[in-house]
Chain A
């Protein structure tokens, strides 16, 4: 099992450019999440998908969109990148949304917006 995979690992964008971060999990988990990690701020939830076909906003959704393509894949799109979106992005998955289970994290995407 690969667990949770993310592509790309690194990306540099210019302000205003768009890109999609890809995430896939092979653990048959129902729930998937996107977080951003910034120094001194821990992890903040951007969007989540409780189950296939549903998505909801998290703590910091502005400037982002998501797609739960199928049970395995959950992508994060930046339509018009801004320097404030420079961060490390993590995708995670868990068997269910009810909080009983731990989340499994991907290796992250380091994004720099200039």
Chain B
């Protein structure tokens, strides 16, 4: 158990809908990262927050957004969903602001768009 929790574990929704994925980092970790894992694209970095502020952005679509709250949990919002958004979404956390520190991964949320 990494100490990172993600809810829900599975999510099935229809095209055009909007969903919210939630992540709670390990106790004491200030950085939260979101990754998408799909069969065709592999594991891709989406976005990072550090202590409530956006820190780095990767291949995140404009239909996707994220935020980190004062209690340090983070939410990833996916809107106008398309079939291609079906993937496993991982949250990771680390104590450090940079990639020097280890990132601890949650169990993921499997999103299926039908």
> Are A and B physically bound partners?
no
